[in-house]
Protein backbone atom coordinates (compact mmCIF):
# COMPACT_ATOMS: atom_id res chain seq x y z
CA UNK A 1 0.00 0.00 0.00
CA UNK A 2 2.47 2.61 -1.21
CA UNK A 3 -0.07 5.42 -1.13
CA UNK A 4 -1.15 4.81 2.46
CA UNK A 5 -0.38 7.17 5.32
CA UNK A 6 1.28 5.89 8.51
CA UNK A 7 -1.24 4.39 10.96
CA UNK A 8 -0.77 7.20 13.50
CA UNK A 9 -2.76 9.56 11.25
CA UNK A 10 -5.98 7.61 11.80
CA UNK A 11 -6.84 9.08 15.21
CA UNK A 12 -6.22 12.60 13.93
CA UNK A 13 -8.32 11.82 10.88
CA UNK A 14 -11.27 10.64 12.97
CA UNK A 15 -11.10 13.79 15.10
CA UNK A 16 -10.88 16.04 12.02
CA UNK A 17 -13.73 14.26 10.25
CA UNK A 18 -16.09 14.40 13.25
CA UNK A 19 -15.18 18.03 14.00
CA UNK A 20 -15.62 18.94 10.32
CA UNK A 21 -18.97 17.22 10.16
CA UNK A 22 -20.25 19.00 13.28
CA UNK A 23 -18.96 22.39 12.09
CA UNK A 24 -20.52 21.85 8.67
CA UNK A 25 -23.81 21.04 10.36
CA UNK A 26 -23.56 24.25 12.42
CA UNK A 27 -22.73 26.27 9.30
CA UNK A 28 -25.66 24.73 7.40
CA UNK A 29 -28.09 25.83 10.10
CA UNK A 30 -26.53 29.30 10.53
CA UNK A 31 -25.60 28.31 14.07
CA UNK A 32 -22.78 30.85 14.12
CA UNK A 33 -25.32 33.50 15.02
CA UNK A 34 -25.40 31.99 18.51
CA UNK A 35 -21.64 32.57 18.77
CA UNK A 36 -22.30 36.21 17.85
CA UNK A 37 -24.92 36.37 20.59
CA UNK A 38 -22.35 35.23 23.14
CA UNK A 39 -19.45 37.36 21.88
CA UNK A 40 -21.45 40.54 21.18
CA UNK A 41 -24.44 40.48 23.57
CA UNK A 42 -24.85 44.26 23.34
CA UNK A 43 -26.38 43.99 19.85
CA UNK A 44 -29.47 42.17 21.16
CA UNK A 45 -32.63 44.24 20.56
CA UNK A 46 -35.03 45.02 23.45
CA UNK A 47 -37.50 42.40 22.21
CA UNK A 48 -34.77 39.70 22.34
CA UNK A 49 -34.21 39.55 18.57
CA UNK A 50 -30.65 39.55 17.27
CA UNK A 51 -30.08 41.16 13.86
CA UNK A 52 -27.59 39.41 11.58
CA UNK A 53 -24.34 41.39 11.37
CA UNK A 54 -23.32 42.64 7.91
CA UNK A 55 -20.39 40.21 7.60
CA UNK A 56 -22.30 37.18 8.91
CA UNK A 57 -22.88 35.47 5.57
CA UNK A 58 -19.25 35.83 4.45
CA UNK A 59 -18.01 34.36 7.70
CA UNK A 60 -20.62 31.59 7.64
CA UNK A 61 -19.66 30.65 4.07
CA UNK A 62 -15.94 30.58 4.96
CA UNK A 63 -16.74 28.52 8.06
CA UNK A 64 -18.72 26.06 5.95
CA UNK A 65 -15.92 25.68 3.40
CA UNK A 66 -13.24 25.16 6.06
CA UNK A 67 -15.51 22.58 7.74
CA UNK A 68 -16.01 20.73 4.46
CA UNK A 69 -12.22 20.67 3.95
CA UNK A 70 -11.72 19.32 7.48
CA UNK A 71 -14.29 16.59 6.82
CA UNK A 72 -12.67 15.63 3.50
CA UNK A 73 -9.11 15.61 4.80
CA UNK A 74 -10.17 13.72 7.94
CA UNK A 75 -12.01 11.08 5.93
CA UNK A 76 -9.02 10.71 3.60
CA UNK A 77 -6.70 10.25 6.59
CA UNK A 78 -9.00 7.59 8.05
CA UNK A 79 -9.40 5.62 4.86
CA UNK A 80 -5.81 5.94 3.61
CA UNK A 81 -4.04 5.17 6.88
CA UNK A 82 -2.15 1.89 6.99
CA UNK A 83 -3.56 -0.99 9.03
CA UNK A 84 -1.48 -2.99 11.52
CA UNK A 85 -2.04 -6.33 9.77
CA UNK A 86 -4.12 -8.34 7.30
CA UNK A 87 -6.96 -8.86 9.78
CA UNK A 88 -7.52 -5.11 10.03
CA UNK A 89 -7.46 -4.75 6.24
CA UNK A 90 -10.27 -7.33 6.08
CA UNK A 91 -12.09 -5.49 8.87
CA UNK A 92 -11.74 -2.22 6.97
CA UNK A 93 -13.20 -3.80 3.84
CA UNK A 94 -16.13 -5.28 5.78
CA UNK A 95 -16.75 -1.98 7.55
CA UNK A 96 -16.78 -0.08 4.26
CA UNK A 97 -19.28 -2.57 2.80
CA UNK A 98 -21.48 -2.21 5.88
CA UNK A 99 -21.22 1.59 5.80
CA UNK A 100 -22.11 1.76 2.10
CA UNK A 101 -25.27 -0.28 2.72
CA UNK A 102 -26.17 1.88 5.74
CA UNK A 103 -25.57 5.04 3.70
CA UNK A 104 -27.77 3.79 0.87
CA UNK A 105 -30.60 2.72 3.19
CA UNK A 106 -30.57 5.99 5.18
CA UNK A 107 -30.42 8.05 1.97
CA UNK A 108 -33.34 6.11 0.51
CA UNK A 109 -35.44 6.47 3.69
CA UNK A 110 -34.68 10.20 3.88
CA UNK A 111 -35.58 10.65 0.22
CA UNK A 112 -38.84 8.72 0.68
CA UNK A 113 -39.69 10.78 3.76
CA UNK A 114 -39.17 14.11 2.01
CA UNK A 115 -40.85 12.90 -1.16
CA UNK A 116 -44.03 11.68 0.54
CA UNK A 117 -44.30 14.33 3.26
CA UNK A 118 -46.31 17.37 2.10
CA UNK A 119 -44.64 20.76 2.33
CA UNK A 120 -41.16 19.88 1.04
CA UNK A 121 -39.76 20.97 -2.31
CA UNK A 122 -37.73 17.87 -3.21
CA UNK A 123 -35.10 20.00 -5.01
CA UNK A 124 -34.33 21.75 -1.74
CA UNK A 125 -33.79 18.54 0.20
CA UNK A 126 -31.00 16.96 -1.88
CA UNK A 127 -28.20 18.65 0.06
CA UNK A 128 -29.68 17.53 3.37
CA UNK A 129 -30.20 13.97 2.12
CA UNK A 130 -26.62 13.77 0.84
CA UNK A 131 -25.27 15.19 4.09
CA UNK A 132 -27.28 12.73 6.13
CA UNK A 133 -26.16 9.81 3.96
CA UNK A 134 -22.48 10.84 4.13
CA UNK A 135 -22.72 11.29 7.89
CA UNK A 136 -24.29 7.85 8.18
CA UNK A 137 -21.48 6.34 6.14
CA UNK A 138 -18.82 7.84 8.40
CA UNK A 139 -20.61 6.95 11.64
CA UNK A 140 -21.42 3.40 10.47
CA UNK A 141 -17.84 2.82 9.35
CA UNK A 142 -16.28 4.04 12.60
CA UNK A 143 -18.76 2.19 14.81
CA UNK A 144 -18.48 -1.09 12.90
CA UNK A 145 -14.69 -0.95 12.66
CA UNK A 146 -14.06 -0.18 16.31
CA UNK A 147 -16.83 -2.42 17.63
CA UNK A 148 -15.28 -5.38 15.82
CA UNK A 149 -11.65 -4.59 16.45
CA UNK A 150 -11.79 -3.65 20.12
CA UNK A 151 -15.04 -4.60 21.79
CA UNK A 152 -15.53 -8.07 20.29
CA UNK A 153 -11.90 -9.17 20.61
CA UNK A 154 -11.81 -10.63 24.12
CA UNK A 155 -8.50 -10.90 25.85
CA UNK A 156 -7.36 -14.44 26.68
Partner 1 sequence: MKLENTLRIERAVRRMTQAELAERVDVSRQAINAIETGKFIPSAVLAIKLARVFGKPVEDIFILTEDAIPAEVKE
Question: Contact residues for partner 1 (CB under 8 A)?
Answer: 84-88, 90, 149-150, 153-156
Least Å from the CB of residue 155 to partner 1 = 7
Least distance between partner 1 and beta carbon 98 (Å): 15
Smallest distance from partner 1 to CB 146, Å: 11
The residues, any chain, with a CB within 8 Å of residue 30's CB and separated by 6 or more, are 56, 60
Nearer to partner 1, 12 or 148 (CB): 148
Give whichever of 8 and 43 is closer to partner 1, judged by the CB atom.
8
State which residue, 25 or 146, has the beta carbon closest to partner 1: 146
Q: How far is the CB of 27 from partner 1 (least distance, A)?
A: 38
CA angle 108, 137, 72 (to 5 degrees): 120
Q: Which is nearer to partner 1, 124 or 155 (CB)?
A: 155
Sign for the pseudo-dihedral over CA of 119, 122, 128, 134 = positive
- Which SS3 state, helix, strand or coil, does residue 119 take? coil
Do 111 and 131 form a contact (C-beta atoms < 8 A)? Answer: no
Within 8 A by CB and 6+ apart from 95, the residues are: 140, 141, 144, 145, 148
Amino acid sequence: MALSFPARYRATGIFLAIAGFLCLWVASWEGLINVYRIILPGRTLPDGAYPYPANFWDINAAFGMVSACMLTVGAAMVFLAKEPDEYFYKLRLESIQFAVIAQFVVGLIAFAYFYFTPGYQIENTFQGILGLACGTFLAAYVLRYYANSYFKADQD
